[in-house]
Amino acid sequence: MRDLHASLPRPAADDDLSARIRQAAHLTGEFLLRSGETATQFLDEYRFAADPALLDAAARAMVPLIPPTTEVLAGLELGGVPVATALSLHTGLPIAFIRKKAKIHGTCRLAEGADITAKHVLIIDAVVNTGGQIALSAADLRPLGATITHALCVIDRGRSGRTTLATHGVELLNLLELT
């Protein structure tokens, strides 16, 4: 069994945010990852996103990382939605909620909420491992008129995400990184 999360975020000397996220989200046990690998430690993004004070603190710290050309925040289903919402509350930027697949009923849209046509869109996710879903979403959003050059996450797990995204023309920005 491979332990992908042996080194979780450590707090900076003057900031306890990473320690607070670690305390809220770090789980031990046996976990099957999306990649098919198993891990003995897991960072549960929903646990820190479900804590209003912790989510707010993370969003506040992420605001300076938003590229100045950003016109729309694109929260990925499901983990990116609360992070994008919190960022929107701090910045006033509109949000598009991005589905993994367009529904076959209702509006039948992949991107709900803010219009992304001819806009600089920043993809938001809570945690990035391989970057696969961000790459897929960028590929789906570009034909809809979105300009996508960056993605932003709370935690980069330090695996292949940054490299994968670079090959798709997306620079990964992150608040915290596993080292």
> Do residues 29 and 43 lie in contact, with contact meaning Cβ atoms separated by under 8 Å?
no
Separation between Cα atoms, residue 170 and residue 123, nearest integer Å: 9
Residue 12 is predicted with a pLDDT of 42
Low pLDDT (below 70) residues in the chain: 1-15, 108, 179
Burial state string for 37-50 with b = 16 or more CB within 10 A and e = fewer than 16:
eebebbbbbeebbe
Residue 3 is predicted with a pLDDT of 35
Residue 86 is predicted with a pLDDT of 98
Residue 37 is predicted with a pLDDT of 77
Residue 15 is predicted with a pLDDT of 65
For residue 84, count other CB atoms closer than 10 A to its CB.
29
- First CA to last CA across the chain, in angstroms? 19
Question: For the segment 51-89, what is each residue's pLDDT rounded down to a tens digit?
Answer: 999 999 999 999 999 999 999 999 999 999 999 999 999
β-strand pairing of 147-156 with 120-128: parallel
Residue 109 is predicted with a pLDDT of 81
C-beta pairs of 4-7 under 8 Å, 24+ apart in sequence: 4/33, 4/37, 4/39, 4/41, 4/129, 4/157, 4/159, 5/39, 5/41, 5/42, 5/43, 5/157, 5/178, 6/41, 7/178, 7/179
